């Protein structure tokens, strides 16, 4: 099972983002708070060069708050300001404007000293598919403005969306692709719904998810599926869940496909509570081992 990364798409997206870079003062890099590493584009630093940026950990409502704090510190250590937001409910919107001002203060003070009239900060949102770019644009604009999906040709008539008096946003976000050639990254993207299930074997995805829950959130796993201890053999776990929930085929045999769909659905609909699938320490130890 290999998940393909599409170099053609990537090159095009990269070109589009690069073209728009010169129009803006700051990049809002949107990532999924549940997978702040895996939902980043691997070449983002190279693409945006030295352009100031603000990392937005979106869908923070679905992520483990304690781990979100760890991620904010992780980015701070790299000199990058990061904020936890919930675009769906509109939480953290004011902080975005405030943080942008702080990040760009020196630049704007310099311009002011040269006699340039103060103007709104110009920003562009970039992020992987399904991370919440359109939802954020609509929230900031306070109306439904962002087109859903990718509309070719819109770059010709560049629109700016006013966010109060102080911020202007490009109406078309930059879509960048995640690195889903890496198996583990691919699984995290699939569990959180960033890539289609059909790209992966669902049972593999569930084995991965159950192992993850056992490791990081064992109490929630045991409580949800009413077990004292997690069986060592994952097949036993599938059998147990299937019997508990009646995911059976004719003859009373556990239907592993049904069990798989059930578990994934329960994770995505937050039946296990808010979950974060990676911590900064995971990433740092993975990087050390490849050095």
Ligand X SMILES: Nc1nc2c(ncn2[C@@H]2O[C@H](COP(=O)(O)OP(=O)(O)OP(=O)(O)O)[C@@H](O)[C@H]2O)c(=O)[nH]1
List of residues contacting ligand X (CB under 6 A): 58-59, 61-62, 86-88, 127, 129-135, 148-149, 175
Q: Tell me the closest approach of the beta carbon of residue 133 to Mg ion, in angstroms.
A: 5
Helices (runs of H) and strands (runs of E) counted in the chain: 11, 7
**Burial call 63-76: b when 16+ CB within 10 Å, e when fewer:** bbeebbeebbebbe
Q: Tell me the closest approach of the beta carbon of residue 3 to ligand X, in angstroms.
A: 18
Q: Which is nearer to ligand X, 175 or 254 (CB)?
A: 175
Q: Tell me the closest approach of the beta carbon of residue 139 to Mg ion, in angstroms.
A: 13
Give the CA distances from residue 243 to residues 26, 67, 226, 246, in Å, rounded to whole numbers and listed in that order.
Answer: 53, 34, 12, 5
Whether 73 and 38 have beta carbons less than 8 Å apart is answered as no
Q: Tell me the closest approach of the beta carbon of residue 156 to Mg ion, in angstroms.
A: 19
**Residue 183 binds which one of Mg ion, ligand X, none, with CB within 5 to 8 A depending on kind?**
none
Q: Which is nearer to Mg ion, 38 or 135 (CB)?
A: 135
Residue 166: helix, strand or coil by DSSP? coil
Query: Containing H/E element for 83?
Result: strand 81-84
Q: Which is nearer to ligand X, 38 or 87 (CB)?
A: 87
Q: Tell me the closest approach of the beta carbon of residue 129 to ligand X, in angstroms.
A: 4
Q: Which is nearer to ligand X, 143 or 249 (CB)?
A: 143
Whether 192 and 250 have beta carbons less than 8 Å apart is answered as no
Residue 134 in contact with Mg ion, rule: CB under 5 A? yes
Q: Tell me the closest approach of the beta carbon of residue 1 to Mg ion, in angstroms.
A: 28
**Residue 209 binds which one of ligand X, Mg ion, none, with CB within 5 to 8 A depending on kind?**
none
Q: Which is nearer to Mg ion, 135 or 209 (CB)?
A: 135
Q: What is the dihedral of CA 135, 140, 144, 147, to 10 degrees?
A: -60
Residue 278: name the closest of 39, 21, 103 by CA: 39
The count of chain residues that interact with Mg ion, using the rule CB under 5 A, is 2
Q: Which is nearer to ligand X, 153 or 252 (CB)?
A: 153
Residue 120 structure tokens: 């709104």
Give the CA distances from residue 221 to residues 66, 137, 197, 244, in Å, rounded to whole numbers and listed in that order.
Answer: 19, 36, 22, 14
Q: Specify the stretch interacting with Mg ion by CB under 5 A; choose among 129-137, 180-188, 224-232, 247-255.
A: 129-137
**Residue 130 binds which one of ligand X, Mg ion, none, with CB within 5 to 8 A depending on kind?**
ligand X
Residue closest to ligand X, measured at CB: 132
Beta strands at 26-32 and 174-175: parallel, antiparallel or unpaired: unpaired
Q: Tell me the closest approach of the beta carbon of residue 24 to ligand X, in angstroms.
A: 18
Question: Rounded to an integer, what is the distance from CA 114 to the centroid of its chain?
Answer: 39
**Residue 201 binds which one of ligand X, Mg ion, none, with CB within 5 to 8 A depending on kind?**
none
Q: Which is nearer to ligand X, 53 or 133 (CB)?
A: 133
Contacts to Mg ion by CB under 5 A: 133-134
């Amino acid at each position: 099972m290999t998940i393909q990364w599409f170099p053609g798409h990537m090159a095009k997206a990269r070109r589009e983002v690069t073209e728009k870079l010169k129009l803006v003062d700051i990049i809002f890099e949107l990532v999924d708070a549940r997978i702040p590493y895996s939902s980043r584009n691997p070449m983002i630093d190279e693409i945006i060069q030295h352009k100031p940026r603000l990392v937005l950990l979106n869908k923070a409502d679905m992520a483990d708050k304690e781990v979100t704090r760890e991620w904010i510190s992780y980015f701070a250590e790299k000199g990058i300001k990061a904020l936890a937001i919930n675009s769906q409910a509109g939480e953290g919107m004011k902080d975005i404007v405030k943080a942008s001002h702080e990040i760009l203060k020196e630049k704007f003070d310099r311009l002011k000293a040269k006699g340039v009239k103060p103007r709104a900060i110009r920003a562009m949102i970039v992020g992987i598919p399904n991370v919440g770019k359109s939802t954020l644009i609509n929230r900031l604009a306070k109306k439904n403005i962002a087109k859903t999906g990718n509309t070719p040709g819109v770059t010709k008539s560049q629109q700016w969306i006013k966010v109060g008096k102080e911020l202007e946003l490009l109406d078309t976000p930059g879509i960048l692709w995640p690195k889903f050639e890496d198996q583990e990254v691919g699984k995290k993207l699939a569990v959180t719904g960033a890539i289609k299930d059909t790209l992966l074997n669902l049972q593999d995805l569930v084995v991965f998810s159950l192992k993850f829950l056992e490791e990081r959130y064992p109490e929630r796993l045991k409580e949800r599926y009413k077990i004292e201890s997690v069986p060592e053999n994952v097949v036993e776990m599938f059998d147990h869940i299937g019997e508990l929930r009646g995911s059976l085929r004719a003859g009373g045999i556990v239907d592993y496909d049904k069990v798989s769909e059930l578990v994934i659905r329960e994770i995505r609909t937050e039946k296990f509570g808010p979950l974060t699938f990676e911590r900064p320490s995971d990433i740092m130890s993975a990087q050390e081992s490849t050095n």
